[in-house]
Structure 1
Amino acid sequence: MRYADEKQCCGAVIAGVNLDLPLNLIADKFRNVKNAHADAITTICPSCHLMYDQHQSSAEKMFDETYNMPVLHFTQLLGLAMGIPAEELALDELKVNPEGFLTAIEQTA
């Protein structure tokens, strides 16, 4: 799925010094993904996965917005495609419950 600023960095490299800039980048990402009507975000970068998953609620508070978007690492999505049970892929560790996303992909399979 294509969306605005899809290749934009999450800002993890400066999060230890200044979290405001990464939170702005995170908020932009979630707004753009929601505008594209996505059900979840899948990342290839471990830093992006941590930033989007762990700091989604901080960005929501900072901008008084609600994203409620599960963030999966591509290896988790690959595992699902290979038939590995969700509980073995640590999906229960995600900050946003991916149940709705999992139901949607099961219905299309």
Structure 2
Amino acid sequence: MFKWADYFGENNTLFVVDAKKKGNVGRFLNHSCDPNVQVQHVFVDTHDLRLPWSSFFAIRNIKAGEELCWNYGYSPDALDPDRPPHRQLFCKCGAASCRGRLL
């Protein structure tokens, strides 16, 4: 079972978008260490910095039928090499530049 505090600490106040049970087509975008789209926050009907819409934009030409992938943005420098195996999240994107781990 995923526990937020196990990955990000007890006092973390980040917002999370979790489309496991409900969402739009964006829920089908996956991670890649060599992405073809990037996420940008845009504001619709509000300027409240807490309420951006996450929007995806192509960063290179994408072939018809190609999977849309973005880099989840975890910094390789932030990866704890001593994180216990049951708390590691391995990357299997297959990119030549794959870091091997998300967390």
What TM-score does the superposition give when structure 2 sets the normalisation length? 0.27
Larger Rg: 2
Higher relative contact order (CA 8 A, sep 6+): 2
